[in-house]
């Protein structure tokens, strides 16, 4: 029975690991957490004279360097002074050279948002009139490429290392103090420390290239590293390394002097280790809270300590779970993990789940902002996956609690039986060993006899260990607990992967605010509100001088528009006239008239493409109709553009 079920459990864990790898592989570069919400000049705008500067407005504060904002002319030459600066709030500007010629200019930006993620993009505007060519910014997406992939892996490993380090140490200290002398548990916690330390060093080296050029060659650029150390993210990574040095001392005491102390001395040391370990673990968690999502946006002062509690609860639950499964599968037969340790961890896990739910609800409200964000944003969709995984884990943990209760209930019955079987087995081993000794005594003398005795002692120890392992694994309740905890750990791997991807995904609230700002900008500057149709009757005072001019402007927005003009007589039939002209005037901005001479297409139909309207507003559309050499009239109507 055991042999048939165990492969199924291993298959489940392998499938869950594959799902975690798929999540990480599909995560891609980190989404921009600071969105561009406005610009001056606006995207696609045509201005009549060169502006003195270009300004960009983001949804949150950003960090800039000399290359963060670049303005390129139609030939690809920079026309800015390379010194971008904040102009107040979340708006940043760069001054332009004087005397810029007409044409289409490209604005490229690459900045770092307040929660440490790179943001990049580009758009165009025109001076006077669009040029036939413009610069194509063929830059790598911020946070992408091989550097972005390595950075993402480093983030995942750092989270996993923290969970194993903090959760494993907490399990040993709070649930199974005797486990401090168990070699597999020591290796697990030390591995967590090594993973977190290596990942932190990797992130520190990658940071400059990750937020900048994205080139592998820049990873070991010491000047970039110096710049990183002056940023909030760099300071957080350095603080993490310093705290890891303190954690190394904690581990040395926990798995060294602590295991060698007597029970009374161990109680006193336990308090010191618990207090110091909690401070170090909280400090490590704070290095994430102070530099990522929690540090910006709504209620940052409350969100950061809540995030610390959330991370500690994750570590206590998932890290303790990992340590428990190692103890169940790898602990020596002579020191199996007792039912009391499992019961203690069960209570800690329950408290961790309560803390996760409380802090998770607050974080969800803060990062989503609305119910629709659950389904309309990628962050909300990933959060739904995380909630589902947590629910499945809680259900699996409930099964583990049941197995724990049954294991504890049978411990008192099984222990005496095991002792009797052990004594009987020892007697058999002693008798067999005595017989072998008696047979070999005549032939064995001096050092040969000592070697034979040592060999027999090793054989007895091996047989005793095998017997204990066989008796331990034969316990059906312990076997059921091992399976349920293994399944729970597999789900935890996927949950940790989803959590890591969430930290790299733009929060739903920010995404929806950026979309709303984009819609607002579009409605005021580049909205595609559909074609505007104007019907204007005319009368030049001559024979056949009456009719209707219909003007259609599509899409009636800032930038390029298509113009169609139709002329009909009073009976609604199309007819030609000698000349028709049109002009656009925005009196509120003292702009215009901007003349347009449409081309004749067919009877009663004229058109013009590429009609540039540089600003939104209430434009006057004036049409001049000439029906003979001397008879003409100008008629006008107003149209809302943008």
Q: What is the pLDDT of residues 70-92, one digit of tens each?
A: 898 888 889 998 888 887 678 89
Mean pLDDT over 588-600 rounds to 83
Of 49, 39, 38, 36, the C-alpha closest to 126 is 49
In terms of DSSP bridges, do strands 46-47 and 118-127 run parallel, antiparallel, or are they unpaired?
parallel
Model confidence at 5, pLDDT cuts 50, 70, 90, reads very low
Element (H, E) at 206: helix 183-210
- CA–CA separation, 461 and 41 (whole Å): 83
For residue 178, the 8-state DSSP code is G
Of 191, 290, 159, the C-alpha closest to 235 is 290
Element (H, E) at 110: strand 103-113
Kindly give the residue spans of alpha helices, DSSP state H, lying in 442-475: 447-473
Model confidence at 416, pLDDT cuts 50, 70, 90, reads very low
Residues 6+ apart with CB under 8 A from 565: 549, 550, 551, 552, 580, 582, 598, 605, 606, 607, 623
**447-473 helix and 378-441 helix, angle to the nearest 10 degrees:** 140
Element (H, E) at 276: helix 263-289
Mean pLDDT over 138-142 rounds to 52
- CA–CA separation, 466 and 320 (whole Å): 28
- Predicted confidence at residue 191, as pLDDT, reads 95
For residue 574, the 8-state DSSP code is B
CB 521 within 8 A of CB 37: yes
- Predicted confidence at residue 106, as pLDDT, reads 86
CB 337 within 8 A of CB 179: yes
Q: Which residue has the higher pLDDT, 354 or 526?
A: 354
Q: What percentage of the chain has pLDDT greater than the value 70?
A: 72
Average pLDDT of every residue of the chain? 76
In terms of DSSP bridges, do strands 53-58 and 62-63 run parallel, antiparallel, or are they unpaired?
unpaired
- CA–CA separation, 366 and 636 (whole Å): 52
Mean pLDDT over 367-396 rounds to 77
Does residue 169 register a pLDDT over 90?
Answer: yes
CB 366 within 8 A of CB 298: yes
In this structure, the number of other CB atoms found within 10 A of the CB of residue 6 comes to: 14
What is the per-residue pLDDT across 242-258, written as a single tens digit (0 to 9) for each? 999 999 999 998 888 77
- Predicted confidence at residue 437, as pLDDT, reads 47
Of 559, 619, 585, 519, the C-alpha closest to 41 is 559
Does residue 446 register a pLDDT over 70?
Answer: no
Does residue 141 register a pLDDT over 60?
Answer: no
Counting every residue written for the chain, the total comes to 642
- Predicted confidence at residue 512, as pLDDT, reads 61
User: Alpha-carbon dihedral of residues 58, 60, 61, 62, nearest 10 degrees?
Assistant: -60
- Predicted confidence at residue 309, as pLDDT, reads 94
Mean pLDDT over 121-139 rounds to 72
Q: Does the model's pTM come out above 0.85?
A: no
Does residue 263 register a pLDDT over 50?
Answer: yes
Model confidence at 543, pLDDT cuts 50, 70, 90, reads confident
Beta bridge partners of 534: 551
In terms of DSSP bridges, do strands 605-613 and 617-626 run parallel, antiparallel, or are they unpaired?
unpaired
Mean pLDDT over 340-361 rounds to 86
Place of tokens 């992967």: 497
Kindly give the residue spans of alpha helices, DSSP state H, lying in 547-607: none
Best mean pLDDT range from 88-97, 222-231, 277-286, 506-515:
277-286
Of 240, 208, 233, the C-alpha closest to 222 is 208
């Amino acid at each position: 029975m055991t042999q048939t079920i165990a492969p199924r459990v291993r298959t489940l864990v392998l499938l869950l690991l594959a799902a975690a790898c798929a999540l990480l592989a599909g995560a891609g570069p980190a989404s921009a957490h600071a969105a561009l919400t406005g610009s001056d000049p606006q995207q696609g705008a045509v201005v009549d004279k060169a502006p003195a500067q270009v300004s960009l407005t983001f949804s949150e504060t950003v960090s800039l360097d000399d290359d963060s904002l670049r303005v390129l002319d139609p030939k690809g030459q920079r026309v800015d002074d390379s010194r971008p600066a904040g102009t107040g709030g979340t708006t940043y500007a760069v001054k332009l050279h004087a005397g810029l010629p007409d044409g289409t200019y490209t604005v490229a930006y690459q900045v770092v948002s307040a929660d440490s993620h790179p943001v990049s993009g580009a758009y165009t505007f025109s001076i006077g009139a669009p040029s036939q060519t413009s610069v194509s910014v063929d830059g790598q997406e911020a946070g992408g490429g091989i550097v972005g992939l390595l950075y993402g892996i480093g983030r995942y490993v750092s989270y996993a290392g923290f969970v194993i380090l903090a959760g494993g140490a907490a399990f040993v200290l709070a649930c199974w103090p005797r486990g401090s002398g168990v070699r597999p548990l020591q290796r697990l916690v030390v591995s967590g420390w090594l993973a977190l330390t290596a990942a932190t060093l990797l992130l520190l080296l990658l940071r400059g290239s990750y937020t900048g050029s994205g080139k592998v060659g820049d990873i070991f650029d010491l000047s970039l590293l110096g710049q990183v150390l002056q940023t909030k993210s760099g300071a957080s990574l350095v603080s993490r390394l310093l705290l890891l040095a303190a954690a190394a001392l904690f581990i040395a005491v926990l798995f060294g002097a602590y295991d060698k102390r007597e029970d009374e001395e161990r109680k006193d040391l336990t308090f010191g280790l618990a207090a110091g370990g909690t401070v170090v673990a909280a400090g490590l968690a704070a290095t994430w809270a102070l530099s990522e999502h929690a540090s910006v946006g709504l209620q940052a002062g409350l969100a950061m300590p809540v995030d610390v509690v959330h991370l500690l609860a994750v570590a206590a639950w998932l890290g303790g779970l990992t340590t428990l499964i190692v103890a169940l599968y790898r602990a020596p037969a002579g020191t199996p993990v007792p039912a009391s340790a499992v019961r203690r961890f069960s209570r800690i896990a329950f408290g961790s789940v309560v803390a996760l739910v409380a802090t998770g609800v607050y974080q969800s409200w803060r990062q989503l902002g609305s119910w629709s964000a659950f389904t309309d944003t990628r962050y909300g969709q990933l959060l739904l996956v995380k909630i589902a995984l947590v629910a499945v884990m809680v259900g699996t943990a409930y099964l583990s609690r049941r197995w724990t209760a049954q294991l504890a209930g049978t411990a008192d019955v099984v222990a005496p039986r095991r002792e009797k079987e052990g004594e009987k087995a020892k007697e058999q081993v002693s008798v067999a060993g005595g017989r072998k000794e008696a047979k070999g005594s005549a032939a064995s003398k001096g050092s040969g006899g000592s070697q034979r005795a040592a060999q027999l002692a090793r054989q007895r120890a091996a047989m005793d260990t095998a017997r204990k392992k066989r008796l331990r694994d034969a316990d059906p309740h312990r076997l059921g607990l091992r399976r349920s905890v293994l399944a729970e750990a597999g789900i935890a791997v996927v949950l940790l992967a989803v959590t890591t991807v969430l930290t790299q995904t733009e929060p739903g609230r920010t995404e929806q605010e950026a979309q709303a700002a984009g819609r607002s900008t579009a409605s005021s500057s580049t909205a595609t509100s559909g074609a505007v149709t104007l019907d204007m009757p005319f009368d030049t005072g001559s024979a056949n001088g009456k009719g209707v001019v219909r003007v259609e402007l599509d899409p009636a927005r800032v930038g390029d528009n298509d113009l169609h003009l139709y002329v009909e007589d009073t009976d609604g039939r199309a007819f030609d006239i000698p000349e028709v002209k049109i002009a656009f005037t925005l009196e509120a901005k003292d702009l215009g008239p901007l003349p347009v001479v449409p081309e004749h297409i067919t009877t009663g139909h004229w058109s013009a493409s590429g009609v540039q309207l540089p600003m939104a507003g209430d434009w006057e559309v004036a049409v001049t109709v000439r029906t003979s050499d001397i008879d003409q009239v100008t008629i006008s109507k107003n149209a809302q553009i943008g």
